[in-house]
Amino acid sequence: MKQSAALPMAWITLRIMIILVWIFFGSILALLLFSFLDESATSKLLGLGGLPESMSGIRSIAILGVLTAPINYAILKCLLDMVETVRSGDPFVRENAYRLNTIAWLLLVMGVANIILASSGKRVSIPQHAFYFDVTWSVNGWLAVILTFVLARVFAAGAMMREDLEGTV
Query: How many CB atoms are closer than 10 A to CB 12?
Result: 10
pLDDT at 44: 78
Q: Which of 12-21, 47-56, 94-103 has the lowest mean pLDDT?
A: 47-56
In this predicted model, which residue has the larger pLDDT, 168 or 144? 144
In this predicted model, which residue has the larger pLDDT, 63 or 165? 63
In this predicted model, which residue has the larger pLDDT, 168 or 61? 61
Q: Which of 8-22, 30-44, 66-80 has the lowest mean pLDDT?
A: 30-44
pLDDT at 130: 63
Mean of pLDDT over the chain: 86
Q: Which of 23-37, 47-61, 69-83, 101-115 has the lowest mean pLDDT?
A: 47-61
Q: What is the pLDDT of residues 83-104, one digit of tens each?
A: 999 988 888 899 999 999 999 9
The string over 123-162, giving b where at least 16 C-beta atoms fall within 10 Å of a residue's C-beta and e elsewhere, is: ebeeeeeebeeeeeeeeeeeebbeebbebbeebbebbeee
| Neighbour-count burial of 114, counting CB atoms closer than 10 A to its CB (0-12 exposed, 13-18 middle, 19+ buried) | middle
pLDDT at 47: 73
Residue 16 has pLDDT above 60, yes or no: yes
Confidence tier at 2 by pLDDT (50, 70, 90): low
Domain-wise residue ranges, the chain: 6-168
Confidence tier at 52 by pLDDT (50, 70, 90): low
